[in-house]
Structure 1
């Protein structure tokens, strides 16, 4: 009952409530970002969600769009702004994902939605993470956040899928609050994170499967 009904009901109630309470914070950050960058305060990126359906995840923008002389974006560490660094350390950049929870793309707790480019590299067991809604936080995040290796992180996501319950979600949320308040295990420079599509992973999935994932028909945002 919790997996199929109550979890989504709680997501809906709490996301709407938090959006109302945090509206002044959202407004202030949006205005500051708009004034300082002259651009949209929101970062939007397509990610795979439940059943691998694609959706647009929202965050506050923490990097500028500076490019080199050839027109390529500079490395993340060079584009991260002072305000963006603060937003990441405080996890305030994640607040816009409450809209994703409200409309049903995400849940408060679940496997983090990873990059679309990683889809071909999961094993069949690891793809269980996409049978449920992705989360703002998850068991992997409170077990080591970005410092975990990919194999370990994905194994924890599967463990969460197999053991999902109200009490586990409550524990994860409480641990997340503690980590955010203590700024523990938070990686500000995303370029330092381990990539999923390493050489070993490339040998796990046939090349033709990658082609199937990235066909024009599949890349349709729903």
Structure 2
């Protein structure tokens, strides 16, 4: 049996779920190597030969004989390769790219820091209220930008479901884990509902494993929070 063209290296994080969402939505065959952060597998020489930055996700495109890192570059490559979830019109492609970069440059970094200071720094002895307020408030502002954008439209860009939605969804939907309040943002919540209802997305959020604590306010997060804080304790600066 021949191997699929796409081999994915990923982990159960907001960035790590993005290519899984595309591959499941597109029905593209792939195989997967889960990366264990607790074993620093993303820092091994073999992995660094694929991504010198030592981060997930990464794909190997066997048909083209090359590796691609950075989630936005991966989704752009897959969308072009398989002709799905990216419009052909150049102006619409530009619109998709703009919102992808909005995620890469703003939503991911701000929500990531909100999560870091609350779930990694604080449990490891570095509680910084100013930093928490700063990143939670900026994350909230970005959710308002998305809410305004979605006024009168179902999808973020090009009037169709695209890789821009796939890029933004795992981060924005993790407002629960970032402790960002979005109850009063109806367009954003309607967008969440539309994507939540997609079976391929729900399947993707279980690969390589499910982390319901990111998305579900009713999930028991206590054990997961302790494990998460311990796993990344080495990232906390010591005085």
TM-score, normalised by the number of residues in structure 1? 0.30
TM-score, normalised by the number of residues in structure 2? 0.29
